Amino acid sequence: MSKDRDSKAAPPARMTRRGFMSTVGLGAAGAAMAPGLGRGRASAGGEEVRAGEMVPLSLQVNGLKHRLLAEPRWTLLFVLRERLGLTGAKPGCERGECGACTVLIDGLPRYSCLTLALEAEGAEITTIEGLMEGEKLGELQEAFVEHDAFQCGYCTPGQIMAAEGLLRADPDPEPEKIRREMSGNLCRCGAYAHIVQAVASASAGRGK
CATH (domain of 78): 3.10.20.30
Tell me which residue of 26, 48, 2, 54 sits closest to 119, measured CA to CA: 26
Tell me which residue of 34, 24, 38 sits closest to 75, measured CA to CA: 24
Q: Say yes or no to pLDDT of 124 above 90.
A: yes
Ramachandran bin of 18, using left for φ above 0, alpha for ψ from -120 to 50, beta for the remaining angles? alpha
Q: Which stretch of 23-32, 107-116, 130-139, 147-156 has the lowest confidence by average pLDDT?
A: 23-32
Mean pLDDT of 135-148: 96
- Position 51 scores a pLDDT of 67
More confident: 109 or 42: 109
Cβ count near 142 (within 10 Å): 15
More confident: 1 or 50: 50
CA–CA separation, 13 vs 170, rounded Å? 10
Mean pLDDT of 35-50: 46
Q: Are residues 161 and 122 in the same domain?
A: no
HEC secondary structure over 23-64: HHHHHHHHHHHCCCCHHHHECCCCCECCCCCCEEEEEEECCE
Q: Are residues 163 and 145 in the same domain?
A: yes
CA–CA separation, 149 vs 162, rounded Å? 14
Q: Which stretch of 9-18, 47-56, 79-88 has the lowest confidence by average pLDDT?
A: 9-18
Q: How confident is the model at residue 10 (pLDDT cuts 50, 70, 90)?
A: very low
Q: Are residues 143 and 126 in the same domain?
A: no
- Position 12 scores a pLDDT of 44
Last residue of a domain, one of 130, 148, 177: 130
CA–CA separation, 194 vs 162, rounded Å? 15
Last residue of a domain, one of 130, 150, 167: 130
**Residue 150 has what DSSP assignment?**
-
Q: Assess contact for 56 and 79: CB atoms under 8 A.
A: no
- Position 11 scores a pLDDT of 45
Q: Say yes or no to pLDDT of 27 above 50.
A: no
- Position 178 scores a pLDDT of 98
Q: Are residues 116 and 169 in the same domain?
A: no
Please report, rounded to a whole number, the percentage of residues in the chain having pLDDT higher than 70: 75
Mean pLDDT of 75-99: 97
Q: Are residues 80 and 154 in the same domain?
A: no
Full residue range of the structural domain in which residue 123 is found: 3-130
Q: Are residues 146 and 43 in the same domain?
A: no
Q: How confident is the model at residue 206 (pLDDT cuts 50, 70, 90)?
A: confident
Q: Say yes or no to pLDDT of 37 above 70.
A: no
Domain tally, the chain = 2
Q: Are residues 107 and 163 in the same domain?
A: no
Q: Are residues 124 and 144 in the same domain?
A: no
Q: What is the CATH number of the domain that holds 161?
A: 1.10.150.120
The end-to-end CA distance of the chain, in Å, is 28
